[in-house]
């Protein structure tokens, strides 16, 4: 079943290749969506795909790439909306609200 997960990763997750590594992991898992830095220093991922693969991505977020120091991972399950054709990195920082 396809679902959407909105994932918030807190900790030292900017400047450590978190977005690039998350995009690679998501692509390998067949997940579509995007990852972006937030102005508060955290990272948000909006991802759609099979529940099992989304769970694997959420698990990966708990570790991240080698230089990351993840403090917490929060996520919310939502119905899939469609509209994503691939997984990409948003290059602009967004507010965390």
For position 18, what pLDDT does the model report? 97
**pLDDT tens digits along 59-69:** 999 999 999 99
Let me know if residue 94 belongs to a domain.
no
Give the confidence band of 32 by pLDDT, cuts at 50, 70, 90. Answer: very high
CATH of the domain at 58: 3.30.70.100
pLDDT at 97: 64
Confidence at residue 39, expressed as pLDDT on a 0 to 100 scale? 94
The total domain count for the chain is 1
Classify residue 33: in a domain, yes or no.
Answer: yes
Predicted local distance difference test score (pLDDT) of residue 30: 98
Checking if the pLDDT of 50 tops 90, the result is yes
Q: What is the pLDDT of residue 95?
A: 76
Query: Is 92 a member of any domain?
Result: no
Residue 45 has pLDDT above 70, yes or no: yes
Question: Is 90 a member of any domain?
Answer: no
Residues in contact with 89: Cβ distance below 8 Å, sequence separation at least 6, in sequence order:
19, 20, 23, 34, 35, 36
Concerning whether 67 is annotated as a catalytic residue, the answer is: no
Q: How many CB atoms lie under 10 A from the CB of residue 36?
A: 17
Over range 13-22, report the average pLDDT. 95
Establish if 41 belongs to a structural domain.
yes
- What residues make up the domain containing 74? 2-81
Question: Is 97 within a domain?
Answer: no
Task: Report yes or no on 93 lying in a domain.
Answer: no
- Which residue in the list 19, 32, 42, 53 is annotated as catalytic? 19
Is residue 37 among the annotated active site residues?
yes
The average pLDDT across 81-93 equals 91
Active-site residue (options: 4, 12, 32, 37): 37
């Amino acid at each position: 079943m396809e679902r959407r997960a909105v994932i918030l990763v807190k900790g030292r997750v900017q400047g450590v290749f978190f977005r690039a590594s998350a995009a690679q992991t998501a692509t390998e898992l067949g997940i579509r969506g995007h990852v972006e830095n937030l102005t508060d220093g955290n990272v948000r991922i909006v991802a759609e795909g099979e529940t099992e693969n989304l769970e694997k991505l959420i698990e990966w977020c708990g570790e991240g790439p080698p230089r990351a120091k993840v403090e917490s991972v929060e996520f919310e399950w939502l119905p899939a909306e469609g509209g994503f054709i691939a997984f990409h990195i948003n290059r602009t920082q967004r507010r965390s609200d």
